[in-house]
Structure 1
Amino acid sequence: MAREGVDTVELNKTISADFGTVIRERRSVRKYDASYKMSQAELEDLLADAVLAPSGSNLQPWRFIVITDQATKEKLLPIAFNQQQVVTASAVIAVLADLEAYKEAGRIYDKAVAAGYMNQETRDKLVDNSVKFYGKREPEAIRNAALIDGGLVSMQLMLAAKAKGFDTVPMAGYNVEQFRELMGITDRYANVMLIAVGKAAEPGHPTVRLDVADITYWNQFGAK
């Protein structure tokens, strides 16, 4: 609903402009103010925005390990090839994908019933369909779908952080097996990425993007 005295068109323009600023000012930051410590409440608030991202069948397969303990970050440093943001950022958030997320469908749809979004009959049908469909899928297909959802929540997390005045950098460069061993991660979960988050000590450098016209095809690949 528009604010009193502000019509819907004007309000939508304001929202668009704010979002445009966020996506244009988000950059990969690798140098952080080590003296700034995000609170647990700030990190939880950030994750609460991130998990509004979409996911297949709304199964929300993302899981997070939030690393704020300095001693643990020091252990992570060599595993992450000595990237200094690991120890200077307020937190390193490991994004994982639950390869058996469909087993949690009942818990998700129970919340939807409690919120009044669906009735019990619809809930039971959706849970049954999820278990039957995902239970028969090839492991590779389940993994690929979960990683897509993990990418969606990761991008939303980074944009939410920027909107709240924080900076981030996504990290794929780390020893996955050593990290899994350090954190005690079982085979049920796949690694998506690490995300360092905190207050920038230096801004990330500007980058360029290819023109839309150079990477977009209409109605058929290869057709401009």
Structure 2
Amino acid sequence: MGPVCFAQPQTKTSTSFQQSSLLRNASQTLDGVKFSKSGRKPMSDPLFQDVIRKRRSVRKFEPGRSVDRKVLERIVDCGRWAPSGANVQCFDFIVVDDPILRDKVMEVFLRQAQRLVDHAKGFPAVKKTYLANTVAIVIVLGDPRWKVCFPQPTTEGWEKEYLENNEVIYQNSIGAAIQNIQLGVAAENLTSAWLSGGGEDITNKELSGLLGYPDWMKAYGTIPIGYPAATQNRRYRRPLEQALHWNGFQPTQYRTHEQVDFYESSLRPFAMYRDEETMETWNDRQEKLGDWEAAFTTGTPNPDGQLENSADFSAPRTTGRATKRRLKD
């Protein structure tokens, strides 16, 4: 893997943290896939399924807590085991567990949050002061030099095809590492969030100057880790029967442009922050969803099965209320 870099000497921790049974069990089967006694089918691992479901994006942590570096190493090692294109492992991990440096990282993200408010109107931005209560912050860096190891075009006219796909491979590899780290956090009974603002040019340059990495590398993921200040319930998830397509894309499960616009203009802050897994349990769902209730709570958001030809959202949309408000401002 790219090295795990602890940004400052470790401060003395006041509490010890017991390794989770999940990671102990996983370490016993690292050399091969766990199979049933018949040797034919892999055994289901309900414990792993539970870890996936208990992962939360948390932005309020208990102050004054600490965690042993061995725990942080186990968490980051989950990122090391993520798949990557051509096995290049195009990521490095900086772990900030020094309180003084952590606060400096927090200041970088406070400035980033203010820029978001100033220049990206309509997005439900969140102040980053909660970073002060983290036990550590993991910065996941992407190293673009490794793209050369992905398929390169050798025939004129194929440059766009392969170079664009190389970018997809690169970013997916980094995203897999970030997700693995978040699952590692959940397995240790801690919580985290995924801040993507470090990938913005101004923010990345500030982080580079603070943490010492080359500014042509990029902080694609910033993961604050801590103990949750309160129990975090599950957030909204689409119905499985809407997202899952068997043996081909089902047009009745397609979400239309108008549905995307309605979510952007009316639902986004509620879907992002309400502690309910399904909109069916919202007491005000009729008020919030109106005629769109079936589209967000059933498996057939598009019952007539008509697909739209174009999906170019690079230009500002005009049908959503929030979008219209931004254009007016």
How high is the TM-score relative to the length of structure 2? 0.51
Is 1:95 the counterpart of 2:140 in the alignment? Answer: yes
Contact map agreement 1:64 1:96 (CA 8 A) in 2: yes
Partner of 2:90: 61
Q: Which has the larger radius of gyration?
A: 2
Task: Give structure 1 regions of 4+ aligned residues with deviation exceeding 6 angstroms.
Answer: 135-139
User: Any idea what SS the aligned residue of 1:203 has?
Assistant: coil
Query: Displacement, 1:190?
Result: 2.3
Deviation at 1:37, TM superposition (A): 1.3
Report the Cα distance in structure 1 between the residues aligned to 2:64 and 2:37, rounded to whole angstroms.
42
Whether 2:202 is the aligned partner of 1:157: answer no
User: CA–CA distance in 1 between the matches of 2:181 and 2:217?
Assistant: 19
Residue in 1 that maps onto 2:63: 34
Q: Which residue type is aligned with residue 72 of structure 1?
A: L
Work out whether 1:181 is the aligned partner of 2:209. yes
**SS of structure 2 residue aligned to 1:149:** helix
The RMSD of aligned alpha carbons is: 3.0
CA distance in 2, matches of 1:149, 1:52: 11
The equivalent of 1:109 in structure 2 is: none
Looking at structure 1, the residues matched to 196 and 134 of structure 2 have their Cα atoms a distance apart, in angstroms, of 16
| Bigger relative contact order (CA 8 A; separation at least 6) | 1
Identity %: 22
Task: Report if aligned partners of 1:143, 1:190 keep a CA contact under 8 Å in 2.
Answer: no
Encode CA deviations 1:162-190: one digit per residue, 9 max, x unaligned. 11221111112453332233223324412
State yes or no: 1:86 paired with 2:131.
Answer: yes
Gaps of 5+ in 1: 104-129
Q: 1:48 Cα deviation (Å)?
A: 1.5
Query: Would you say how many aligned residue pairs link Structure 1 and Structure 2?
Result: 190
**Aligned twin of 2:103:** 74
2 CA distance for matches of 1:146 and 1:75?
Answer: 29
| Kept in 1: contact 2:205–2:215 (CA 8 A) | no
Aligned-partner SS, 1:171: coil
More strand by share: 1
Partner of 1:46: 75
Kindly provide the CA deviation profile for residues 52-97 of structure 1, in whole angstroms up to 9, marking residues without a partner as x.
1111111111111111111111112222125133221111101111
Gaps of 5+ in 2: 1-27, 30-35, 111-126, 253-329
